[in-house]
Structure 1
C-alpha cells in the first residue's frame, strides 16, 4: 500500500510540468468586470485565449505555456491593451485603466527583458518620432536641405538603437525578446544571413521552438539568391487597389521603382515622404513607382496609402511574406526596392534619399 501511494504521488508531481504559469494582477477597475487574455491566430487576428473576473481589485490566471507567447490583457469596457509575454513562471501584472501605458508586467525573464528594452530605448524612439515629424514637414515645405539633415539625424538614432538591440540579442540567448528582435533584424534586412544563423544557434531550445523561433528558422531556410543589377526583373501580375489586376511589363515608365513595403513597416513609412517628393518631381519626366505591399488586410493597406498620401500605383495579394510577388523577388526583409530601366532591367537596388534621386535623375537623362 505504501509503495502504491508513493507511485501515485510521483505521478501527480510529474504531471506538474515546468511549463506552468500563474498571473497575479492588481487593477483599478470595478469588481465583476472581466479581464481577457488576447493572442493572435495564424492570420494575425486577435482571439480570446482566456478570461477571468475581477475580485477585490485583483485578477488571476493560470495555465501552461510550453513556449513564450506574445499576449495582451484587455479590460472589459476599456479601450486599449497591455502587452505581456506568457511563459512558464510567476507573472505579476499591475493594470492602470486610466492610463494603460503606465501598466507594468514583470516576474519572468522575457517580461523583465521587455521592460528593460522599452525603458532603455524610450528616449531614442521619442527622438526618432520627433525627427520624422520634422522631416515630413520639411519635405512638405520643399526644404530639401533640412529634410536631408533630419534624415541623417534619424539614421544616427536608428543606428544607436540597432547597436543596442544587437548587444541585447547576443547577451540574452534565453529571452523571447531576443527572438523578437532578431526577427525584426531579418525583416528589416539589418544584418546578413550568416550573422543571423550564428546568433540563432546560440538560442536556448525553448526560444528556438517558440513561434518566433520557428519563424526565424523558416525564413533562414527560404533564403534564395537575390535578383542582381543587370538582370531582367521578373514580370508579374497582381491585384491593384481598385480590385483589378496590374502587370509590371504593361506599366513600365522610362524609369520604374518597385517598392516592397507594408503599413506595419516603420522604416518604410519613414521613407515614404521622400518617395512622394521624388514622384512629384520626376513623374512627369517618366518616373513610375509601383508599390508592392506585404500587408495582411486591405483596411491597413488602404489606410497607410491614404495617411502617407502615396499617389502612385499599388498592388498587393494581402498575404504577408507569402505574397507571390515578394517570393518571386526573394524578398525576406523590407523595405526593399528595385530600380528598372524602360526595358525592365534592374539598374539599382535598395537606394534611398539623395542616392536614389541622383540615380533616377541620371537614368531619366539617359532615356530622353
Structure 2
C-alpha cells in the first residue's frame, strides 16, 4: 500500500513508536552529527525506519532500509568512530549458532546493526544444510536484524518511500556477549535465546495486545474525514498511546540496568512531546546509564521539553525578517500565535504549508498570527521559498542554518515543529498537524468554520 503524500501519518505512527523500536514513516527531519565529517546533517526519519507494511491495521517488520553512514563488514567496534562507542563498555565476544530446520539449499545470512546514527555494521555467514555460525565483538548489546538471502549478488531494488517492501525471511533481536542460539523453520519464526533477548521478547509480548487493538483505530483515524469521527477516534487512539507508555515505563522500572530499557528511553527522547511520561522512564533508569554522555543529553532534552511544555510561558526571541528588520515574538503578544520552525529544504515542512495557509486565511482577522522561523543558511533560497509558497505572515531567520539561535534556544532537533501560544504567551498546543490547527483555533477562538 502506498501512502498519499498529502496525508498526515502522525496518528498511524504514534502508537507503534512509543517504545521506539519500530518507527513508521514520520513527517519530520532530524538533525544528527556526521561522525566522519564532524558536521551536522539532516536526513529523513524514513531512512532509518524498519521497512514495514500495513496489513489489516497491524505493523509487520520485513527488513531494514539503508542508513546514511559507513558500512563495515566483519568489523569490530574498535574500528569505528569514537561516537559509536561513546556510551558503551569493553567489547565482548559474541557467538551465534543458528539452525534453520529443513533448509538444504546453500544460503547466506546477513546481520546488520547500528552502533550510532551514522554507522552501520554488517556481517554475514554461509548457511550449509541449515546450519550457520557467526562471531565477533560487541561493546554492548544491540538490536540487530538478521535475514536470509541467496548466495551471490542480488540486483539492487530501489524502493520508494511508502512502498510495500517485499517479504524477507528475517527478524530483529538483541545480540549480546556470549552465545546466542537461533533455531526454527525459518529465520523469522526462529526462537532466539540469550538473556537480553528474553527481556526484549518480554517487552514485545506486553506491547503486542495494545498494538493489535490500536491498529484498526489508527487506520480509521488515518482515513477518516468526518470531524466528529476524528474526535472520537483520537480519544481512543490517545488511550492506546497511554497504555503503551505505561508498558514501557513498567518495563524500565523492572529492568533499570538493561540495555533494552536504556534503548527504550533513548528512542523516546527522539522528540519529547510528553515530558511527564518521559521523565518517569528516565528516572527509572540506573544511575550508570544516566551518567553516560547520552544520559546527560537526555536529561538536558527533558529539561528543555519541560521548559516548553503545554502550559509553560513561551520564551521571547528576536530575529530579522527578509528585509533585515528585527522582529520580536513579544510584538505579537495579545494574539494567538503559531511559531513554526521550518526550512526551504525540508520536504515534510512543505507538506504542512497548505494547512498553515488554510488556518491563516481563516483566522488572520480573528486575532491569529503566524511567525515562521527558518533554519536556512541561504537567503536567496529562503526568500524564494517564501515567495513561491505565498507566505503572507511574518518570517524570520538568522541564516545560521541548523544552528539557528532561536531553534537552539527552543531545543529544536527536528522539523517541522510548532508551538501555538495564547494572547498571554502561554503554550496551548504543540506540533499540530493537518487540520488539527484549524480545529484547535476553532476551539480557543470560539469560531466554528464551516
Q: Same fold, TM exceeding 0.5?
A: yes
Cα offset for 1:156?
Answer: 1.0
Give distance in 2, aligned partners of 1:256 and 1:292. 13
| Higher Cα Rg, which structure | 1
Cα gap change, 1:168 to 1:156, in 2 (>3 Å): same
Give distance in 2, aligned partners of 1:291 and 1:132. 30
Among candidates 88, 91, 107, match of residue 177 of structure 2: 88
Give the structure 2 partner of residue 125 of structure 1: 211
Q: Are positions 1:116 and 2:202 aligned together?
A: yes
Give distance in 2, aligned partners of 1:280 and 1:338. 17
| Structure 2, unaligned runs of 5 or more | 1-89, 155-165, 343-347, 376-389
**Deviation by residue 1:245-304 (Cα, 9 ceiling, x = unmatched):** xx9969x9985534579xxxxxx9xxx99x98786466443367789999xxxxxxxxxx
CA RMSD in angstroms comes to 5.0
- Structure 1 or 2: more strand by fraction: 2
Contact kept, 8 Å, 1:258 with 1:291, in 2: the verdict is yes
Give distance in 2, aligned partners of 1:154 and 1:45. 33
Higher-RCO chain (CA-CA 8 Å, sequence separation at least 6): 2
Contact kept, 8 Å, 2:210 with 2:240, in 1: the verdict is yes
Give the structure 1 partner of residue 313 of structure 2: 229
**Deviation by residue 1:295-354 (Cα, 9 ceiling, x = unmatched):** xxxxxxxxxxxxxxxx99999x997xx886642312479996312579xx9452435698
Cα gap change, 1:214 to 1:108, in 2 (>3 Å): farther
Cα gap change, 1:123 to 1:328, in 2 (>3 Å): same
Give distance in 1, aligned partners of 2:268 and 2:320. 28
Cα offset for 1:137?
Answer: 2.5
Give the structure 2 partner of residue 242 of structure 1: none
Give the structure 2 partner of residue 240 of structure 1: none
Among candidates 127, 133, 136, match of residue 54 of structure 1: 127
TM-score (norm 2): 0.52
Give distance in 2, aligned partners of 1:361 and 1:229. 20
Cα offset for 1:54?
Answer: 1.0
Cα gap change, 1:177 to 1:121, in 2 (>3 Å): same
Give distance in 2, aligned partners of 1:18 and 1:152. 46
Cα offset for 1:51?
Answer: 1.5
Cα offset for 1:163?
Answer: 1.1
Give distance in 2, aligned partners of 1:182 and 1:95. 31
Q: Are positions 1:148 and 2:234 aligned together?
A: no
Aligned length: 301
Contact kept, 8 Å, 1:279 with 1:288, in 2: the verdict is no
Contact kept, 8 Å, 1:233 with 1:346, in 2: the verdict is no
| Structure 1, unaligned runs of 5 or more | 1-16, 238-246, 262-267, 295-310
